[in-house]
């Protein structure tokens, strides 16, 4: 096989990585927006604790995060029997890989949206409220359009993070080709086999290309947010 031709396993890893990253962002974005709004606009007892919990995956070793997910959502975990009764399984599945990636990307998405919210003058929202707009309409027609570049930037950064996630994912869902093997875990597996330098180079090149593209897009969106 030539150095630039991807094998079936490599194509599966790339496809799964893109699927995992996309699903993790789609699932995280609405929740992250709500959490960011609470952190930016509300002050209450436990505000600091919530902020710490949101950012905990950034400071915990990813393996610890993956183990905690296994304890919570594994078949013998806290919520395992409930999930099994519903016919759902997260551990050692692609859905579990998306969950692990979402957990690791969540703090970055929240942070980007929170910064965008804090840059919006609350008086604009107050003015809309005094004109009779409900909180939902204020958010939908005033706040959301103003923070949209920040939301998009958070989504792109979260996508890039999810795309490269390794520690939590491999701990929670293992490294099953075609099922849970992402680009990162495929690179790890290839490194264990002598003579796979070309395959490792291909996967690293794709990983760098996708990640740099996502980060450049995030930078463009962030600059647009600053200009606005």
- Quote the pLDDT of residue 2: 47
- Quote the pLDDT of residue 226: 61
- Quote the pLDDT of residue 27: 95
Q: 109 or 223: which carries more pLDDT confidence?
A: 109
Burial of 148 from C-beta contacts in 10 A (0-12 / 13-18 / 19+): middle
Return the domain boundaries, the chain: 8-227
> What's the mean pLDDT in 86-105?
93
Residue 196 CB partners (closer than 8 Å, separation 6+): 190
- Quote the pLDDT of residue 70: 94
- Quote the pLDDT of residue 3: 47
- Quote the pLDDT of residue 1: 46
pLDDT band at residue 21 under the 50/70/90 scheme: very high
Q: Among 17-26, 132-141, 159-168, where is mean pLDDT lowest?
A: 132-141
Burial 108-132 (b: 16+ CB within 10 A, else e): bbbbbbbbbbeebeeeebeebeeee
Q: Among 61-70, 166-175, 213-222, where is mean pLDDT lowest?
A: 213-222
Question: Which CATH number is 8-227 given?
Answer: 1.10.3720.10
- Quote the pLDDT of residue 4: 58
- Quote the pLDDT of residue 228: 58
| Position 22 pLDDT exceeds 80 | yes
> What's the mean pLDDT in 137-141?
88
The answer to whether 107 and 80 are in contact (CB under 8 A) is: no
pLDDT band at residue 128 under the 50/70/90 scheme: confident
Tokens 């003579």 belong to: 195
How does the average pLDDT of the chain come out, rounded? 88
pLDDT in tens, 30-86: 999 999 999 998 888 989 999 999 999 999 999 999 999 999 999 888 998 898 888
């Amino acid at each position: 096989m030539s150095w630039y031709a991807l094998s079936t396993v490599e194509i599966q890893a790339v496809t799964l990585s893109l699927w995992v990253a996309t699903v993790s962002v789609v699932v995280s974005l609405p929740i992250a927006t709500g959490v960011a709004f609470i952190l930016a606009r509300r002050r209450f007892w436990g505000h600091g604790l919530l902020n710490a919990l949101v950012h905990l995956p950034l400071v915990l070793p990813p393996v610890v995060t993956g183990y905690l997910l296994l304890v919570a959502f594994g078949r013998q975990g806290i919520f395992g029997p409930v999930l099994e009764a519903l016919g759902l399984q997260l551990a050692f599945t692609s859905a579990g890989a998306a969950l692990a990636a979402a957990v690791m990307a969540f703090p970055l998405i929240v942070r980007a949206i929170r910064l965008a919210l804090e840059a919006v003058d609350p008086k604009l929202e107050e003015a809309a409220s005094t004109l009779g707009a409900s909180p939902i309409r204020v958010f939908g027609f005033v706040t959301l359009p103003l923070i949209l570049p920040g939301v998009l930037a958070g989504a792109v950064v979260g996508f890039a993070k999810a795309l490269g996630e390794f520690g939590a994912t491999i701990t929670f869902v293992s490294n099953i080709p075609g099922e849970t093997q992402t680009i990162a875990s495929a690179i790890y597996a290839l490194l264990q086999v002598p003579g796979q330098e070309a395959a490792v180079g291909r996967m690293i090149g794709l990983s760098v290309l996708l990640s740099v593209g996502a980060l450049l897009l995030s930078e463009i969106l962030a600059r647009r947010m600053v200009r606005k």
